[in-house]
Each structure stands twice: as structure tokens, then as C-alpha cells.
Structure 1
């Protein structure tokens, strides 16, 4: 994976950037600091680049060697051979730090380690080295693993960057964003289209409120939390005692790369805070997003579908409309803003690329969406359709939300918190499945058309053992009938995650029991098998026998 591909990957979490390498236990800007960053699991190392007296590119931050080697002389007045004979002090140097076996490394030596193992942000102490450093990276076959950066705030800055020969090396801008000037700054940056920007800002809300603008620009955001004056309140020292206040707030605002002198602590924080639950506020925000998409993209098209805005997919009665596609795109964008790095698996996207399904089991955080469930009903002017959203963390569904655009209400559930009906005005009432009872008195959903012809012939007479069976061609509404107790059971074949990941959670939290008829528990990664939902496990077994055993 290249550096640009990594940064653009929607499945990644916030990148950990080790300032001057992981220097706690190795001299900063040394080969050992790079190796230690790799060992820790850091994503990016920031390295400082200078040029020696005899024209060799090397790593060193300060003008002089005083702090890192105890020699009060400009580093660039030494030849490379002389520099590599000088021992570096441990960690970040200074008086009292012992000398180590590490020497001042050349950029070429660093790139040999970096290539294919980690990414690097190259901070040039003289920006006139841009083209030369880029050429070195290309010569070392490392151009796709490093970036070059400089300040870009004016048209003059843009012209200077365009004049440099950095082909093949990703460019990162350094920019400041203020509430009143963000549009102008983005306009200037658009001339260069940087893949990422190292930012400063007047207030965190300026960044959070403009996440969609940064996304539209295709530009990830990098923030330093170093203990330096230009970091303002966003420092490592505060983060070590209150990481949520610093790292957490930055990530929530949309920052997806953080440079720190505490890479191990930041990495541990990210691992500890891997999402395991959806808060009340986030649940309300997701519901608001779904309502907004329905009002803007779905309802205006309801009962206005024509042959020009509806197409068949796998069969004449398997249709997609412009509402499905536009709503999926709109909700996907909103989810990406709520959860930077989330993988969105949508029914219509999978229709174009089935490999997207594999991401459900591979990504840490996934949103599974069916923007218009019951498209056939929707397309024919029947109001029994809905929008379905499941949030899945490490394979476990942590929130299920079903919205009914015509009704304006929701069904929602989170593990261990019950299932709830949320009315248009926000009033909440707890949901409960039907009670158990005799097979002959049960009502259920059995969509015979979903089964193979030979199984249809077997099931058809068996459904007569129940009081009534039907199908509504809409999982959203069938789950609604189950969790309100109006219907007892539902049997499904072709168990796509956008139809069932949310509904199974809501059904379970309403007291129900669901599993494949094989007895295997349901998982959001499943796409094959017959899924049976019932009031409880005993009823499930009785219904299974009635349907599949003579």
C-alpha cells in the first residue's frame, strides 16, 4: 500500500505519527528511532532533513550538534564522513544524556528502512531541497512512502510548489484555518490538491463544522500535539493525563493523523477506545441523519417513480431507483463525517462490487445501510418501505436503527439496552415480541419466492400448519411487526446484512430469538442460509420443526 492509499483508506483509524522517530530509548532522527517506531506499530515517522558540506542529505533537526552530540558547531559544516563518526546522545539529547552507538544517518540509509515498512514525513530544514530530496526518494524507490511539505496560504506559495520537481512524491500542505477564512484557504489549497494538510486552527469547532468541506477536497487532516508553543492547548503533556480532552476531541473533530512525542501512549489510547458502543447523543445524531436523508432524497421521489428513474437489477422484480442510489450516497457521506475511517457497506454499492461485503469482517468499524428497504413497494407507490442502518464494531452489531419515512418514526436498539420505538415527536416506548403459543395460532412471514423451487414445494403445504403466513417484501416492516408483537415469526433466505444486521439486534433486544435453521447463531458477515426469528428459543425450535420436518 502506498502512503496516499493508506491515508485515503476509509477503514483506517487515526494515524500515529512519531515525531523524529520513536526517540524514547533511541536518539531522535536516528535509524534506531525509525526501527523502534516500526516495532511499536507507528504508522508514520516525521524526520528532519539537511544537507552536508559535501552534498549528502542527512537527518538532523537543530542547526548545530550541541543538543544531540555536545558539539557547538553547525551540522551542515561537516562532511558526511565526519558526521557519521559522531556519536549521538540518547533520546532527545541535551546535557546528561549518554552517548550511544548511533551515528548521524543519511537520508538514503533511512529510506532503506522506511521503504515498504512504514511511511515518513520529511521535514526539510531548507525548502530549496524539495526537488533534490524528491529525486533521492525516487532513486531509492521510496517516493510512494514519503511526503514533502511546506506552508501553503497564498498564491505565491502555490506557484513555488508548482515550480518544484517532486513528481511521484505526495505533497502535504501546512495551513492555518480560521472561521472566517476557511473558504479562502481551501480555495488556495485546491490549486495543489494536497493529500493531507498539517493544520493549525483558531478553534476546534472551525474544523468540526467543516468536515464535509475537507472531505470534498480529498484532504486528510494532521495535527501536532507536541509540547511546543505553536501547539496551543493541544499538547502531549495534557494528553497523557486526559487523552480524551486532547486526542479524543481532535479525532472527533475529524483529525485523522496526530504527530506526537508519545507514540506508544497514543497507539494504546486508540486501541483502548476502539468503538464498542454508541452513545445516546450519537444515536440521536444518526437518527437525525437518517431523517434528513429521507426528507431530502427519498420522500420527494415517493409516488413519483417513472420508468426513467427505476431499473431492474438481478430480476424484473428486483429493482433499484434513483432514490436508492442518491440516498445511499448522502447517508454514506454523513456517516463518514460522524465516524472518520468507518467502512460503509451499502446495498447498491455491493451491487456494483460484491467484494465490499468482505469488509464487514475485516474492518474495525462498519456501517451497513439499506437506504430504501422494500424498493419494490416504494417504486409502486406502497408506503411499506424503510431505511435500515446497522453499526458493526469488530464484527458485533452495536446499534440497529430502522426509520420509516412515511410514518416519521424509528425502531432502535443497542446491546443490553432494550429495543425502543421512537415516535416522530421523540416519545419512546419499549418494544416486546409476541408471547409463545401454539403453532396453529401463530402468524408469520414466509416469502416462498425466495426459496429454490424444490423447497417451495416442500414449504407450501407446511405453512398451512400456522394460522396465517404472508410476505410484505420489506425487512424493515416485517421486523416492525415482529418486535411490536403483531407477528410471531419470520423465515428468510438470502440473508444479506443490510436486511438483517439491524433487525436481528432489535428483535433480540425486544426479547426474541433468531438463528439460522442449522442452529448457528446469526452474524452480520453471513449471506447464506435460512434465518428464522421467533418469540423465544422453544418457539423457534417448534417453528423450525413445523417448517422443515414432516
Structure 2
């Protein structure tokens, strides 16, 4: 069993053009809802795009389990099913919903393909730039454009800790450790947070940053990007050094240019 990755990439683009972009900067208050907190939003566009993608995936790969961010909000058991599925498609209809709802042009549509507990493909589509970052296991990571142009990307060369640029989120770190990690960020050159993991991964695999750091690990946020990072030559592992797998939702994650950089970041920065 498999999924046509080119066709799946096209579905994400079609969903963006049909459901996401027409609503961008046109959301009224009734089209934006709070899910678990003020920083966890869902919009009418998220829900419409996920319905669109789910219907198209059902036609493309009827045997695949569909795991979408909004579907899981309605049925949390889908996350449990992901661990045992022979084939699954995991989708974030709008990654960076807070940016989208605020009218900021930095959001993405993401999908990952999971086969027997392993991520085998990932796609991050940028509706504003109209291009995809795509990785398939063993085939590298590629920037692909609608005209067929494809450029292979690689992570940056390793840098000393004091020269590292990176992206990290402290929002879901343990409260008792957050101040320590924030203070430790002084040991690197720049730390940013775009509030959209998809673009943080795209910047990393393109060689523009040296690390990423996260605590909460929902599969639609990190499966595609982690595979891309590895296929682009980077190193990724949870805080205890174990591999990040599709069924993991916690345990933290550091993505770095190489293992030595990962170890330095774990020791000096992400010390919770």
C-alpha cells in the first residue's frame, strides 16, 4: 500500500486555493473559535480545508487512515489508531492558524504519510509562495514548484553554539523549566518563533537556521518536517535521545544540523 505523493501535494494546493486563500483576511469573529486556550484557534477555513482534503484522500487512497488535526479534536481515538495503522495520511489543514487568523501571510498546509509506524513521506505547501517542500524516505528533500522545477535542499553546515540561529517554542515547556531555557537562549546567536512549525522546518532544511526545538509533538505538526530534516542531512531526536515516531505526542524534540550540534543544544540549552 502506498500514496501517490505528487497527487497528495496537488490536493493540498487545491485545498488552499479553494478553501484557505479565499477566506484569508476575510474572517469575521464568528469564523474563528478557541479550542483549548487563547493560543489554540480553529477557523472556518481550517475545517473546510480539512473536509476538502479528507474527501480527496479517500478517493486517492481509500485504504489509508485519515488523521487530521480537526478530526482528532472531534475523535481523539484517531491518535491511538495511528500507531497501528498499516497506512495513514496525517494532515494539518492550516499550520499557523494564529498567523492566518491575524492576517499574517505565514502559514502552511502539511501532510505526512505513515506506513506501519514509520513516516515515509512529508509535504509542506506554502500557499503564499505556491510551492512545496517534499521528502520521501531515502530520496532527499526537494523544493518543488508548480512548473515542475525541483531543487534539492540541504541543511546548513554545523556552527559553534554561539553562532547558531534557530527556532524554538517555549509555550508547552514545563512551567518550572521555561525560565531556564529562555535564559539559555543567550548562549546562541538568535532564537525565533514564527508560530508555524511548517515554515520553521522549511527554513531549517533550506540551510537558513541551525536548530529547532519543541516540546509538544502532535503528529500533524512534526512528522513531515522531521523526515525532511533527516532527508536533508540533519539529525533529530527526542530529549532522551530516542527517535521521534508517529505515535509520540510528548518527550520534546531537538532538530539540529548534526549529532554533535544536537548534543550541545541538549546539554547547554534545552536542559529541562
Q: Which residue matches 2:24?
A: 302
CA distance in 2, matches of 1:548, 1:307: 38
CA distance in 1, matches of 2:263, 2:199: 24
Q: Which residue matches 1:259?
A: none
1:142-291 correspondence to structure 2 within 5 Å? 274-275=1-2, 278=3, 282-291=4-13
Tell me, yes or no, if the aligned pair for 2:156 and 2:206 is still in contact at 8 Å: yes
CA distance in 2, matches of 1:406, 1:416: 28
The answer as to 2:242 corresponding to 1:520 is yes
Q: Which residue matches 2:38?
A: 316
The answer as to 2:93 corresponding to 1:382 is no
Q: State the shift of 1:424 in Å.
A: 3.6
The answer as to 2:137 corresponding to 1:403 is no
**What SS does structure 1 have at the residue aligned with 2:171?**
helix
**What SS does structure 1 have at the residue aligned with 2:269?**
helix
Tell me, yes or no, if the aligned pair for 1:407 and 1:424 is still in contact at 8 Å: no
Residue 547 (structure 1) aligned to one of 230, 253, 269: 269
The answer as to 2:172 corresponding to 1:444 is no
CA distance in 1, matches of 2:235, 2:89: 23
The answer as to 2:147 corresponding to 1:421 is no
Give per-residue Cα distances to partners, 1:374-406, cap 9 Å, x unaligned: 000000011110000001111111110110011
1:128-147 correspondence to structure 2 within 5 Å? none
Q: State the shift of 1:549 in Å.
A: 4.8
1:11-50 correspondence to structure 2 within 5 Å? none
Tell me, yes or no, if the aligned pair for 2:170 and 2:215 is still in contact at 8 Å: no
**What SS does structure 2 have at the residue aligned with 1:450?**
coil
CA distance in 1, matches of 2:160, 2:200: 21
CA distance in 2, matches of 1:460, 1:289: 39
Task: Identify which of structures 1 and 2 has the higher relative contact order when contacts are C-alpha pairs closer than 8 Å and 6+ apart.
Answer: 2
The answer as to 2:213 corresponding to 1:491 is yes
The answer as to 2:205 corresponding to 1:467 is no
Give the alignment's Cα RMSD to 1 decimal: 1.2
Q: Which residue matches 2:222?
A: 500
Q: Note the residue ranges of structure 2 that are not aligned, 5 or more in a row.
A: none
Rg bigger for which structure? 1
CA distance in 2, matches of 1:317, 1:363: 31
Q: Which residue matches 2:75?
A: 353
TM-score by length of 1: 0.49
Tell me, yes or no, if the aligned pair for 2:159 and 2:210 is still in contact at 8 Å: no
Give per-residue Cα distances to partners, 1:310-336, cap 9 Å, x unaligned: 000110121100000010011011111
Aligned length: 272
The answer as to 2:175 corresponding to 1:453 is yes
CA distance in 1, matches of 2:12, 2:26: 21
CA distance in 1, matches of 2:244, 2:171: 22
Q: State the shift of 1:542 in Å.
A: 0.9
Q: Which runs of 4+ in 1 moved over 6 A?
A: none
Q: Which residue matches 2:257?
A: 535
CA distance in 2, matches of 1:344, 1:549: 35
CA distance in 1, matches of 2:203, 2:116: 29
CA distance in 2, matches of 1:518, 1:486: 26
Tell me, yes or no, if the aligned pair for 2:131 and 2:143 is still in contact at 8 Å: yes
Q: State the shift of 1:414 in Å.
A: 0.5
